[in-house]
Structure 1
Amino acid sequence: MTTAPGQLPVAEQAPRHPSDPDPARATKTRAVFALGLIAALTGLFIGGIVPATVALQLSRQARREAYASGGFLTGARWLRRGEQLAWTGLLLAAFALVALAVIAVVRLAQAPFGYDYPANVD
């Protein structure tokens, strides 16, 4: 059976065994996406570090569970988006920390060094 001239034939799928579970979206993928979104939104305020690390740890667990399920757990796209948002949150937090460090160094360089005594003190 072919779908159109010039295309590869479509492989017939074997009938499913009645005791096979139905494919379902993994619940951890929603959590990873939500935590990644929170991390990306609060990354500039340095609050995105915690949800981003939790999202990345959950994504590792979700990938392991999806691999072990043999294809019955779905949601790889949501998992990938959540990971990308978590990394974005971490990068924004790192940028904010570097910017704060630069501002602190510039302010420290502009401050007078040592104690400034009055003119009548030897």
Structure 2
Amino acid sequence: MTTAPGQAPVAQPGPPRHPLDPDPVRATKARAVFALGLIGALTGLFIGGIVPATVALQLARQARREAYTSGGFLTGAAWLRRGERLAWAGLVLAAVSVVAAVVLGVVRLADTPYGQDFAPNVD
């Protein structure tokens, strides 16, 4: 089998786009979700990660709704997934630290003597 010399024909990737269709662009909320999720995961053990993680999850919900209504012209789903995972990790870390603090508090409360502690020479 032989091939003819010259350039190979270039195939178009799909049907031609309408000239009025917007260009696909990354959603600005996707990057914000990732940043807030990262902050939530990094500060999750210090209980401060609850607020940015919650905001990240709310923004992710809005961004997914906007991406759906845009008909595929808003991208950034990978950033949204990563940000949501980091936000959930931050919430889990915060919950773990709250549970650990409650357990430590209960153990310390159990170690303290109950009632008034008198000196050994007092009846």
**Same fold (TM > 0.5):** yes
Give the corresponding residue for 1:29: 30
Give the corresponding residue for 1:20: 21
Give the corresponding residue for 2:98: 97
| DSSP-derived class of the 2:43 partner | helix
Give the corresponding residue for 2:86: 85
Q: Which whole-Å CA distance do the structure 2 matches of 1:31 and 1:18 have between them?
A: 30
Equivalent positions of 1:107-118 (< 5 A) are: 107-118=108-119
Q: Which whole-Å CA distance do the structure 2 matches of 1:12 and 1:74 have between them?
A: 18
Q: CA deviation at 1:119?
A: 4.8
| DSSP-derived class of the 1:37 partner | helix
Q: Which whole-Å CA distance do the structure 2 matches of 1:58 and 1:12 have between them?
A: 33
Q: CA deviation at 1:121?
A: 4.9
* Unmatched tracts of structure 2, length 5 or more: 1-11
Deviation digits for residues 67-117 of structure 1, max 9, x if unmatched?
Answer: 000000000000000000000000000000000001000100000111113
The structure number with the bigger radius of gyration is 2
Give aligned-pair identity as a percent. Answer: 75
Large movers: runs of 4+ above 2 Å: 117-122
Aligned length, in residue pairs:
113
Q: CA deviation at 1:120?
A: 5.6
* Unmatched tracts of structure 1, length 5 or more: 1-10
Q: Which whole-Å CA distance do the structure 2 matches of 1:24 and 1:91 have between them?
A: 32
Give the corresponding residue for 2:40: 39
Q: Which whole-Å CA distance do the structure 1 matches of 2:116 and 2:35 have between them?
A: 52
- Higher mean alpha-carbon deviation, 112-121 vs 19-28, is at 112-121
Q: Which amino acid aligns with 1:75?
A: G
Q: CA deviation at 1:14?
A: 1.1
Q: Which whole-Å CA distance do the structure 1 matches of 2:120 and 2:19 have between them?
A: 95
